Structure 1
Amino acid sequence: MFNHPPTLELLQWLTRGSLKQNLARAVRLWVWLRLLYGQEGERLELPEPFTYAKWRDVFFTESHPKGEKVLYHADSRCPCRKTAASWLFAEGTGVEKPTWIRMIVRHTDWRRDAVEDWLNQPLFSLTRRMLAGDLQALTQLGWLRYRGRRYWRVQRFPSFSMATSNQGSAEDYNFLPPDLGLMAWNHRQQVNGVQRFFLHVDYVVPRRLLDKVEDLQDQLKQLWAKTPIPPVLLRYRSAKLDGEVDCVVYPVCIYYVQRAIYLCAWGRDPYGAMNWCNYRLDRIEVIVPLEWQDGRVPESLGQRYQQQDLPTPDFIQAEMEKAWGFDYYQQPLLLLLRFDGLHNRRYIQGTVRHETFKLVSYEEAMRLVKREAPVMHRQRLLRVIQSRPREDAYYRAIYRQGDPNVLMRLQAWRPFVEVLLPWELRVRVAVDVRKEAKLYED
């Protein structure tokens, strides 16, 4: 029985080529396998052996065109009208739409709206030649036997199915950045008894707190396994407030970002407001599970529970894709940067910082300043750009206001980067640079 979900690793294996160019065929072959080897009610009632014509008559409705041309078929019951989304996200596939779309976007560099558009296209509205080609592809992959224009199902699946059941798949690593998950999966085993692939990340948590952080992660995993997931009381040591504070929140997920692990939660934040907040795990002193009826649970949080509208990790991922920065709950602002031309060619050009981080022309930079800069500072910024070398490079992005990770990245790029917009950030960087310069005056 074939019951594998359409993971990145399976789709890549089915294409034997570029997934970006062959996504439709990869998903279609996955559907073929469910039609041939799926559970009762999903598997087609085909004779053994079968021909393409027999499959066509069993699969499509009687009125489906049998010629070579692709014609619009008015019968809404015919499978040729079913969209890719209808196949992928049907009950029983175990595929969650937001997660699957995010996986494809990260691996293919397609835009999210392009994937959405593709999902709304019929998957089997194809010519006889193309559908018969699918059967030949399955034969080449070892899922069918072919002889005398007839096909036989195999008694033993090709090696892929055994690999996925015994060793997991690349999708098990889909929490990693694009392609890194697939890379980690491909290199997870030793070569001739020697480990050749290593991953090093900065981690600022001191060793004496590692056990505590692991215990908190285990506690959160146990809480997320409960139905319903309870709200929690956090005793949190806030760096900004320079003291401990109690926060009652709904825990959503954990992220490793830059140098530490954070709990993303929605509820009463350290400032007493109802909001999202990221809590560094090593600064959480204790996590106390609460009942939903507990009087300490904020009313608005309790209402979201009653309305079955509790936040999910997909919301966080979507917000992080909209703007650069981990503080996904902060206001998104336009960021315009100027890089020294040589530094750009060596270190910035061709790199990926965020989906919104794009190279713009000198003329576009001028237009952005005219449109976005405060009126009282607009002419001053225009003169600044006009005074800079024309070979310099300009980049625009959408970033989260005050995000510390973006600010640290800008700091690391100094003195080869200049912040032009937003004006408030330009002023802040200028103040920081002056303070820094005073440290070296002696």
Structure 2
Amino acid sequence: MRTSYTHLEEVSSKMLYLGIIIFIETRLVSELVFQDIPDIELLQCLGHGYLKQNLIRAIRLWVWLRSLYGSEGASLYGDNQDRVVLDDSFSYADWRNAFFGSTHPKGEKIPPIHDSHCPCAKTTAQWLFSEKTGIVASQWRKVILAHTGIGESELDTLLQRRLFGVTRRSLQGDLEILAKLGWLVYKYQKYYRVSEFPARPVTTKDQASAVKVGAYELSFMHEDLVGLAEDHSQKINGVQRFFLKLDYVIPRSTLDAVEDLQYQLRQLWVKTPVPPVKLTYGSARLANNVDCIVYPVCIYYVQRAVYLCAYGESPQKDTNWYNFRLDRIRSLFALEWTDPKLPSNLQQQYQQKSLPNPDNIALQMSKAWGFDFYLPSQLMLLRFDRQFCDRYVKGTERHDTFEEITYQQVQRLIQREIKQPQQQALLKVLAKRSQTDAYYQARIRYQDNEHRDNNLVMRLRAWQPKVEVLTPWDLRQSFAADAATQFMLYHN
């Protein structure tokens, strides 16, 4: 009997232990609290990057998350708490019965307004703008209009729609999207709350109130354009008076692919740590597709296209950095930091916790003119026709290092910076030029004619024949050859 009693005691202890573990795990799941506000970044994630088409659904998914993980004491509707009472595994019908009023229709059709207190009667605006959410309607609208391309009248219409005045099929689709995005787990024909939220950009109510909407929207723009955009982005007496025209050479056939890439990158950038990626790139220089493993740092719009600035491998495997044009990236998928295929320079930066960030790129671009910031910096000397310079160059900003200098300063720079025999040749050229012409110096990104910033070269070509490149010598020779070829095309 003593042995049996001891055995029973052990079994009871194990059951108690397992019960405690199950209780703790259940509490960990149930204590997750979702209090994010529906800012542009969260809505982009919930709308899979296509907010113009998916804005209403993205907002509805935000309310779904409040109903599944929200605080138990702060409601968005009526006198009920945010989080509905559900088991940790539930079906759509379980959620519907807990979320809607008792008289809510259970059929397939869009429910009519049957009870003004039922959540299905509330408009999108009522869900968004209240003391409980703390969202300022004018600021939120301004951000949405700036980022989605939706017109004001269209947005007004969307805000007056009943957010949950949709079919059962649409709500079932919402659940499937949440499971696909990692907010729920679906198994055994039931949905389960997660024990850890998926990575996403987080802005709380308190953080949002501390951020000026204008700065949040426009901080990525040139500082002189920010004020212009803030002052004139809205219509004046119903008429839009400010327009920003940018040349964009990305073909329409690749726009969807480029948008998908940007969405993928947003999803990667909210992870901690941000993972490395393997991409396949259609290199114009190599005339072939090439695989590169890189750490994605940021994206830039420069000279008619969008680029991913990344550290790791370049297509030619000759630099650690490269600017990949997004429309030429054929595929991109994330890797693990433990992957043995990672290049040694990337592994080293990760192990030393010194992975580059966008500030590194901005600093390098400030040091020399050119977007290919990873190329060596060289002195550039230019001579302009004086009248042309006074009309179109003088008084404009090209780069921090671009400045007018005197004829004598050019002479001294050639003597100090340029090696023989190019130095002697350039001094002879300078001796034949007028001292009344305009002379400029700058630091540029240039290694040789195979490794040069083509955007800068295009800028110089646009100034021809009113500009003469004195240095770098190789670039001068290249321009001379181009001029000779062009002359032959037009001669006779």
Same fold, judged at TM 0.5 (above): yes
**1-structure distance, mates of 2:250, 2:312:** 25
The yes-or-no answer on 1:424 pairing with 2:424 is: no
Equivalent position amino acid for 1:436 in 2: Q
Give the length in aligned residue pairs. 282
Q: 1:370 to 1:166 in 2, by over 3 A?
A: closer
Please state how far the C-alpha of 1:167 moved relative to its aligned partner.
Answer: 7.0
The yes-or-no answer on 1:287 pairing with 2:332 is: yes
Equivalent position amino acid for 1:425 in 2: L
Q: Per-residue displacement from partner, 1:292-331 (whole Å, max 9, x unpaired)?
A: 1112212321221122110100000000000000010000
Q: 1:338 to 1:211 in 2, by over 3 A?
A: same
The yes-or-no answer on 1:188 pairing with 2:233 is: yes
**2-structure distance, mates of 1:273, 1:388:** 39
2:382–2:441 Cα contact (<8 Å) kept = yes
Equivalent position amino acid for 1:309 in 2: S
SS of the residue corresponding to residue 320 of structure 2 reads: strand
Q: Per-residue displacement from partner, 1:140-167 (whole Å, max 9, x unpaired)?
A: xxxxxxxxxxxxxxxxxxxxx9x97697
Deviates more, 1:367-376 or 1:214-223: 367-376
Q: 1:167 to 1:314 in 2, by over 3 A?
A: closer
Name the counterpart of 1:350. 395
2:280–2:291 Cα contact (<8 Å) kept = yes
Please state how far the C-alpha of 1:273 moved relative to its aligned partner.
Answer: 4.0
Q: 1:273 to 1:364 in 2, by over 3 A?
A: closer
Name the counterpart of 1:205. 250
Q: Which runs of 5+ in 1 are unaligned?
A: 1-160
Please state how far the C-alpha of 1:177 moved relative to its aligned partner.
Answer: 1.7
2:319–2:374 Cα contact (<8 Å) kept = no
The yes-or-no answer on 1:434 pairing with 2:484 is: yes
**1-structure distance, mates of 2:425, 2:356:** 44
Name the counterpart of 1:168. 213
2:381–2:439 Cα contact (<8 Å) kept = yes
Name the counterpart of 1:313. 358
Q: Per-residue displacement from partner, 1:350-380 (whole Å, max 9, x unpaired)?
A: 1100000000011101111111223213233
Deviates more, 1:380-389 or 1:393-402: 380-389
The yes-or-no answer on 1:217 pairing with 2:267 is: no
Aligned-pair identity in percent equals: 52
The yes-or-no answer on 1:399 pairing with 2:480 is: no
The structure with more radius of gyration: 2
SS of the residue corresponding to residue 421 of structure 2 reads: helix
Equivalent position amino acid for 1:417 in 2: V
**1-structure distance, mates of 2:469, 2:248:** 28
SS of the residue corresponding to residue 294 of structure 1 reads: coil
**2-structure distance, mates of 1:186, 1:164:** 21
**2-structure distance, mates of 1:166, 1:364:** 48
Equivalent position amino acid for 1:422 in 2: P
**2-structure distance, mates of 1:355, 1:413:** 19
1:173–1:182 Cα contact (<8 Å) kept = no
**1-structure distance, mates of 2:396, 2:311:** 33
SS of the residue corresponding to residue 375 of structure 1 reads: coil
Within the candidate set 444, 461, 464, 1:414 is matched to 464
1:171–1:181 Cα contact (<8 Å) kept = no
Within the candidate set 330, 335, 344, 2:375 is matched to 330
**1-structure distance, mates of 2:361, 2:211:** 32
Q: 1:166 to 1:297 in 2, by over 3 A?
A: closer
The yes-or-no answer on 1:179 pairing with 2:224 is: yes
The yes-or-no answer on 1:371 pairing with 2:421 is: no
Please state how far the C-alpha of 1:400 moved relative to its aligned partner.
Answer: 0.3
Q: For 1:92-107, list aligned pairs within 5 A.
A: none
1:333–1:422 Cα contact (<8 Å) kept = yes
Q: TM-score, normalised by structure 1?
A: 0.61
2:403–2:441 Cα contact (<8 Å) kept = yes
Q: For 1:2-401, list aligned pairs within 5 A.
A: 168-273=213-318, 275-401=320-446
SS of the residue corresponding to residue 443 of structure 2 reads: strand
Q: 1:398 to 1:301 in 2, by over 3 A?
A: same
Equivalent position amino acid for 2:305 in 1: A
Coordinate RMSD, CA, aligned: 1.9
SS of the residue corresponding to residue 234 of structure 1 reads: strand
1:336–1:396 Cα contact (<8 Å) kept = yes
2:310–2:322 Cα contact (<8 Å) kept = yes
Deviates more, 1:348-357 or 1:377-386: 377-386
SS of the residue corresponding to residue 439 of structure 1 reads: helix
Q: TM-score, normalised by structure 2?
A: 0.55
**2-structure distance, mates of 1:373, 1:267:** 33
Name the counterpart of 1:138. none
SS of the residue corresponding to residue 253 of structure 2 reads: helix
1:232–1:289 Cα contact (<8 Å) kept = yes
1:170–1:182 Cα contact (<8 Å) kept = no
Q: 1:190 to 1:164 in 2, by over 3 A?
A: farther
Equivalent position amino acid for 1:354 in 2: H
Q: Per-residue displacement from partner, 1:186-207 (whole Å, max 9, x unpaired)?
A: 2121111111110001111111
**1-structure distance, mates of 2:417, 2:388:** 26
**2-structure distance, mates of 1:166, 1:367:** 51
Q: Which runs of 5+ in 2 are unaligned?
A: 1-205, 447-451
